[in-house]
Amino acid sequence: MNKKLIFIALIILSSFVVFQKEDEFQKEFSFISIPIKRFFLEIENSLKGYVNTYINQIETIKRLKEENILLRKYLYHQEMTIEKLENYSKSKVQKYDANSDVIRIQTISYKKLNDFSYIYLTGEGTLKDDKIYGLIQRDVAAGIAIKNGEHLEGILLSNEKCQFSTFVGEDRMPGIAKGIDEKRMEVNFIPKWSKISVGDKVITSGLDNIFLANIPVGVVSEVVTRSTYKTAIIETYADVLHPNYFYLVKKVPIHIYDTNTTLLINDSNSSIKG
């Protein structure tokens, strides 16, 4: 009888210790499991590649072509903007290479078992440490990525640590987007005098060297006036609960400003449609 009590006490004590160190355990477990998950992911991709080659090849190629065409439209828009800038300035402007400046990556696993906003991603071998990269899911903004040591970590829109520069509405009012949950973000520091309203579209500005410009983010669902600025609550487009594949923006073109007006020289009437 005493042995049974001792056994039960040990189980309770072990459970308590595990519960107290849940975060540490999850982090260590994630690091240890990454090579295993990567191995099975490669096997899965190989099998998918085999199946796609012989069964679903046409459908897969069509879908990927549509995604690539849409992203190339964004890149083309950037190149056209650069050509306009060259007419205004003799400064050197970075050219875009559509084949290497945006790369397709895949989710390996969640970083924590109880947090769906942090993920581990492939593609870390060609990226710089501590640089923030933009993540695009099909044709909309989905989060940011940071290389931390040997691992590339994705922080999705649902996380408050996911922040980047945006434009709101037809007048392109600047603001900083910050994650709330899997469906919403808040855009802060919008000038208080700006005229923004429910239904306005929110896009990336491209001025923070994270995203290309004009990538759709979401639509305004509520406007809140603070003491010195406005905040827009937006409904996001990305499906962050299904983080399978992303396009990662490795490099963003240099933006040049007209020193006479302090406004970005750009064609605000242009639009990209998929």
92 and 171, same domain (yes or no): yes
Q: What is the amino acid identity at position 125?
A: G
- pLDDT reported for residue 32: 59
68 and 35, same domain (yes or no): no
pLDDT exceeds cutoff 50 at 239: yes
38 and 117, same domain (yes or no): no
132 and 45, same domain (yes or no): no
What is the band of 261 on the pLDDT scale with cuts at 50, 70, 90? Answer: very low
Tens digit of pLDDT for each residue in 209-222?
999 999 999 999 99
45 and 75, same domain (yes or no): no
Calculate ∠ Cα 215-170-209, nearest 5°: 35
Tens digit of pLDDT for each residue in 173-227?
999 999 999 999 999 999 999 999 999 999 999 999 999 999 999 999 999 999 9
48 and 71, same domain (yes or no): no
Which structural domain range is residue 83 located in? 56-274
- Please tell me the total count of domains within the chain: 2
Domain end call among 30, 53, 76: 53
What's 109's domain CATH number? 2.40.10.350
61 and 49, same domain (yes or no): no
154 and 183, same domain (yes or no): yes
15 and 86, same domain (yes or no): no
Tens digit of pLDDT for each residue in 112-145?
888 999 999 998 777 888 899 999 998 899 999 9
169 and 254, same domain (yes or no): yes
Domain end call among 32, 53, 74: 53
The pTM assigned to this predicted structure is 0.67
94 and 149, same domain (yes or no): yes
232 and 244, same domain (yes or no): yes
